[in-house]
Amino acid sequence: MTRQIHLGAFLNAGVQGTAGWRHPDASPKFLTADHYVRMAKILEEGRFDFAFVPDALSVPRSLGGSFAPAVNWGSGTPRLDPIPVVSMMAAATTHLGVAATVSTGYHEPYNVAREFATLDHLTGGRSGWNVVTSFQDAEAQNFGQRRLPPRDQRYGRAEEFLEVTTRLWDSWADDAIVGDKQSGVFGRPEAVEALDHEGEHFRVRGPLSVPRPPQGYPVIIQAGASESGRSFAARWADVIFCSHASLESAIAFYTDVKARAAAHGRDPDQLKILPAATPVIGRDTADAIARHEAFADLVSVEAGLSRLAYHVNVDLTKYDPDGPLPPLEEVGVEGHYREVVEFAAKNELTVGQIGRWYGARTEGSMVGSAGEIADVIEQWVDAGAADGFVIQAAHVPGSFDEFVTGVVPELQRRGRFRTEYEGTTLRDNLGLNRPGRGEWKARRA
Amino acid sequence: MTRQIHLGAFLNAGVQGTAGWRHPDASPKFLTADHYVRMAKILEEGRFDFAFVPDALSVPRSLGGSFAPAVNWGSGTPRLDPIPVVSMMAAATTHLGVAATVSTGYHEPYNVAREFATLDHLTGGRSGWNVVTSFQDAEAQNFGQRRLPPRDQRYGRAEEFLEVTTRLWDSWADDAIVGDKQSGVFGRPEAVEALDHEGEHFRVRGPLSVPRPPQGYPVIIQAGASESGRSFAARWADVIFCSHASLESAIAFYTDVKARAAAHGRDPDQLKILPAATPVIGRDTADAIARHEAFADLVSVEAGLSRLAYHVNVDLTKYDPDGPLPPLEEVGVEGHYREVVEFAAKNELTVGQIGRWYGARTEGSMVGSAGEIADVIEQWVDAGAADGFVIQAAHVPGSFDEFVTGVVPELQRRGRFRTEYEGTTLRDNLGLNRPGRGEWKARRA
């Protein structure tokens, strides 16, 4: 049997991309529940593994620290809290997984463990947590800090954060609840244990107030591309979300991270690597290219520069717009930066030209007919570059609708994608084992 | 026109009361979404103003610091995170308000402001926030502290917390979003402002990443009975939730808090006071008493002592069970404590007897036929003791079902309760004005 492809849907709780809201078909209802429920139903109809809601804890500040560009162009703002959004998407579906982004930088592990344990119970085991360490000064400044802490410090906190949350999920044995109305015995105290954790960042006594989640641990998603990020993801993550400008860099990343997982004693197949893809689907190649160009025209150059500044967490206005991009220290998201540098070098772009390109750019752009896009998806999976993709939408809900009615049936015809869900939990559908109690010991550094 | 009565439903995200799960009709599905969705539909059918989900951030520890009694008897545990629970309840309804408890002690104001702004948008203005400062050492110990901070410190933090959250809700003007696809102008930056708040507890730059909530501010609920609590609630709260053992103490509290609100320049009618009520409805008085007694038999004495210890945050085992309850310093919840002291003094109870009584006790117990319960509700409202009630359930969903099919039609026949919702937001239904931008200035100390 050919390898099955997994699909997630990248779906901002707010506006999409740099100018997604401007598309003629884009729904303006992005602050309503109906908007998200409608997309959840489309994605479940398309048998997607999960919807994935990214997050950032600020209005992006850029180009000299101003939030004006973000508000003016609707770039990266508004951004709703992902938890109520995915809760409502889950309430309207029965099989679709729902993954929410929550930062380890600006939350407490007890609250986060409880939030996801709750979501996992209420969804019958369909929840996922996208673990991020945050990357903007503007976020740090909403939580008492002047600047973003250095990456090592952020990952140190994340490491301890994951140890505490997984131990909290393990604080109740799977069979701790008895619920015998006759005798009055609700639970077995000997099956529940405290943590008494005392670490560098956290002191947490436990136990959690919520019984062990149906999935053992909700599905852990991570997107770190840096050395710290890869080491962290290879141990803790069930799913890695990434972004690659070329098949070659994707294969190198895939190979590296799977080897790291194996070196840590994990079955590499228990770690799914899903790069970003942004399909623009046309009747044929020419139609798709025309649609892609029409969409690029909606993006303002200023919004693009602002978005790049936001992604790499530095003010690019201080560099000569007609000069090349100089190397930057301590960038926010290494993956994005690496991609920009590669592309800028290859095409000999100035800072100004980079900004123009970055505004219209989408992650893992795939432009073509439904069949051509299915070809690329198959090619990447067969080349050992991906276990599937996280599909980004140029505009919503239209882009998801087009993918579900165009590309999904094509992949199904080729025997590469499910026509019915394999099971009831997100782990079932992703082909991931349910972690036993105590699994955290094998995952930590 | 006679004064209209407002109704909330007190609904644990987990098990109810000390032994609610043992009731023969109690649903064992308290970890599933269906359980909460079913109750939401019953409450909306009964035209309740809102469902109210309390919370605490620990498995209760009691009787010497052990969590074993709580697990053993299902008293105060499990307890799910309220946010996903109320999100799913809201997704299944169109008019019912949903109020979630979130502590100011162990969260960050930026996250909480964002969570409720999101919930308010997704529900179309049906959200409420029950503000608590937490009251157990067991909670403090899940967040790096050895002991609960003193009340003044907790309320100092809460005061600043509310100032920051309301300012974050105000950071976008109501008309900040333009959304002009043609020109590409998404929003008006001049209608969005940062806070640059630097206080004793928090430094928050802002603005919020979510536009101003439909209700301006989600409905603020508070339950403090202490001096600090009353001062806080009289200024910040739209709804006060309280508990009284007698009509007299309820009138005194009502009069005091409304006067405090007026002294602060508020219209006292814009602050709704809703005491707890736990109805046990029978065909007639005798039947109700029999049902009440049958239910009390389900409560173990140990669970009752454990619950009392949990509520007042002290270990009562160190006192002589055959002696009177000595005055306690710095108790957790003054309302509960006051009620216990009053009742114990009146009935000359020992510590052991108090424990026995407290286990079976419910807040604002109302035992009788539907008509008799409607009588008491009317009496309290007409006496100036309440603007309505928060109905607690002995067991779920049965107790809510009985109330909705028994007492609600009785109140409707008497012209005291709505037959259709007045409006679309929770503020509409509670008869509360929508706060304008900048309202926080009038609310703070």
SS (H, E, C) A266-321: CCHHHCEEEEEEEEEEECCHHHHHHHHHHHHCCCCHHHHHHHHHHHHCCCHHHCCC
Eight-state DSSP code of residue B192: B
Best residue of B81, B141, B148 to probe chain A, by most A CBs closer than 10 Å: B81
| Residue B83 to residue A79, Cβ atoms within 8 A | no
Residue B45, CA distances (Å) to A104, A309, B39, B42 in order: 41, 51, 10, 5
| Residue A179 to residue B28, Cβ atoms within 8 A | yes
E-only strand ranges, A95-194: 97-103, 127-132, 177-180, 185-187
Q: Residue B403 has what pLDDT?
A: 98
| Residue A209 to residue B77, Cβ atoms within 8 A | yes
Q: Per residue in B374-399, pLDDT tens?
A: 999 999 999 999 999 999 998 999 99
Q: Residue B333 has what pLDDT?
A: 59
Residue B432, CA distances (Å) to B113, B230, B239 in order: 20, 19, 10
Q: How confident is the model at residue A61 (pLDDT cuts 50, 70, 90)?
A: confident
| Residue A122 to residue B88, Cβ atoms within 8 A | yes
Cβ atoms within 10 Å of B25's Cβ, excluding its own:
12
| Residue A184 to residue B32, Cβ atoms within 8 A | no
In a domain, A304, yes or no: no
- This model of the complex carries an ipTM of 0.94
Collect all residues of chain B within an 8 Å Cβ-Cβ radius of residue A208: 59
Q: Can you tell me the distance from the alpha carbon of B236 to that of B164, in angstroms, rounded to the nearest whole number?
A: 12
Asked whether the beta carbons of B242 and B275 are under 8 A apart, the reply is yes
3-state secondary structure of B410: helix
| Residue A31 to residue B211, Cβ atoms within 8 A | yes
| Residue A71 to residue B187, Cβ atoms within 8 A | yes
Q: Which of B37, B106, B145 sits opposite A111 (nearest CB)?
A: B106
Q: Can you tell me the distance from the alpha carbon of A437 to that of A132, in angstroms, rounded to the nearest whole number?
A: 24
Collect all residues of chain A within an 8 Å Cβ-Cβ radius of residue B19: 184
- Helices A301-312 and A351-360 pack at an angle, to 10 degrees, of 100
Collect all residues of chain A within an 8 Å Cβ-Cβ radius of residue B204: 141-144
Q: Tell me what the mean pLDDT of segment A311-333 comes to.
A: 69
Give residue A235's Cα distance to chain centre: 17
Q: Can you tell me the distance from the alpha carbon of A327 to that of A329, in angstroms, rounded to the nearest whole number?
A: 7
Collect all residues of chain A within an 8 Å Cβ-Cβ radius of residue B125: none
Best residue of A21, A81, A132 to probe chain B, by most B CBs closer than 10 Å: A81
SS (H, E, C) B320-382: CCCCCCCCCCCCCCHHHHHHHHHHHHHHCCCHHHHHHHHHHCCCCEEEEEHHHHHHHHHHHHH
End-to-end CA distance of chain A: 35
In a domain, B1, yes or no: no
Q: Which domain holds residue A419?
A: 6-283+365-443
H/E run at residue B279: strand B272-282
Q: Can you tell me the distance from the alpha carbon of A366 to that of B147, in angstroms, rounded to the nearest whole number?
A: 56
Q: Which of B67, B145, B181 sits opposite A192 (nearest CB)?
A: B67
Q: Which of A26, A122, A202 sits opposite B84 (nearest CB)?
A: A122
In a domain, A295, yes or no: no
Q: How confident is the model at residue A348 (pLDDT cuts 50, 70, 90)?
A: confident
Q: Residue B328 has what pLDDT?
A: 67
From first to last of the 445 residues of chain B, give the pLDDT tens digit. Answer: 589 999 999 999 999 887 889 999 999 999 999 999 999 999 999 999 999 999 999 999 875 688 998 899 898 899 999 999 999 999 999 999 999 999 999 999 999 999 999 999 999 999 999 999 998 889 999 999 999 999 999 999 999 999 999 999 999 999 999 999 999 999 999 999 999 999 999 999 999 999 999 999 999 999 978 899 999 999 999 999 999 889 999 999 999 999 999 999 999 999 999 999 999 999 999 999 999 988 888 877 667 777 777 776 666 666 777 888 777 665 555 666 777 777 777 888 887 777 777 877 777 889 999 999 999 999 999 999 999 999 999 899 999 999 999 999 999 999 999 999 999 999 999 999 999 999 999 999 8
In a domain, A126, yes or no: yes
Cα torsion B395, B401, B402, B403 to 10°: value is: 100
Q: Per residue in A204-245, pLDDT tens?
A: 999 999 999 999 999 999 997 889 999 999 999 999 999 988
Asked whether the beta carbons of B425 and B214 are under 8 A apart, the reply is yes
> Looking at CA atoms only, how far is residue B219 from chain A in angstroms?
17
- Which residues sit opposite B66 in a β-bridge? B62
| Residue A31 to residue B108, Cβ atoms within 8 A | no
Cβ atoms within 10 Å of B249's Cβ, excluding its own:
19
Q: Can you tell me the distance from the alpha carbon of A117 to that of A113, in angstroms, rounded to the nearest whole number?
A: 6
Supply the CATH number for residue A372's domain. Answer: 3.20.20.30
- Helices B82-91 and B33-45 pack at an angle, to 10 degrees, of 50
| Residue A80 to residue B207, Cβ atoms within 8 A | no
Provide the domain count of chain B: 1
Q: Can you tell me the distance from the alpha carbon of A40 to that of A36, in angstroms, rounded to the nearest whole number?
A: 6
In a domain, A108, yes or no: yes
- Helices B370-382 and B247-263 pack at an angle, to 10 degrees, of 40
The tokens for A31 are 């602050």
> Looking at CA atoms only, how far is residue A379 from chain B in angstroms?
37
> Looking at CA atoms only, how far is residue B262 from chain A in angstroms?
34
> Looking at CA atoms only, how far is residue B363 from chain A in angstroms?
22
In a domain, B378, yes or no: yes
Q: Which of A273, A275, A215 is nearest to A239 (CA)?
A: A273
- Which residues sit opposite A280 in a β-bridge? A367
Collect all residues of chain B within an 8 Å Cβ-Cβ radius of residue A59: 192, 207-209
Mean pLDDT of chain A: 92
> Looking at CA atoms only, how far is residue B404 from chain A in angstroms?
24
Q: Can you tell me the distance from the alpha carbon of A196 to that of B114, in angstroms, rounded to the nearest whole number?
A: 31
Q: Can you tell me the distance from the alpha carbon of A165 to that of A113, in angstroms, rounded to the nearest whole number?
A: 5
Best residue of B29, B110, B122, B310 to probe chain A, by most A CBs closer than 10 Å: B122
| Residue B184 to residue A19, Cβ atoms within 8 A | yes
Q: Can you tell me the distance from the alpha carbon of B134 to that of B106, in angstroms, rounded to the nearest whole number?
A: 8
Q: Which of B163, B205, B200, B108 is nearest to A145 (CA)?
A: B205
| Residue B300 to residue A184, Cβ atoms within 8 A | yes
In a domain, A98, yes or no: yes
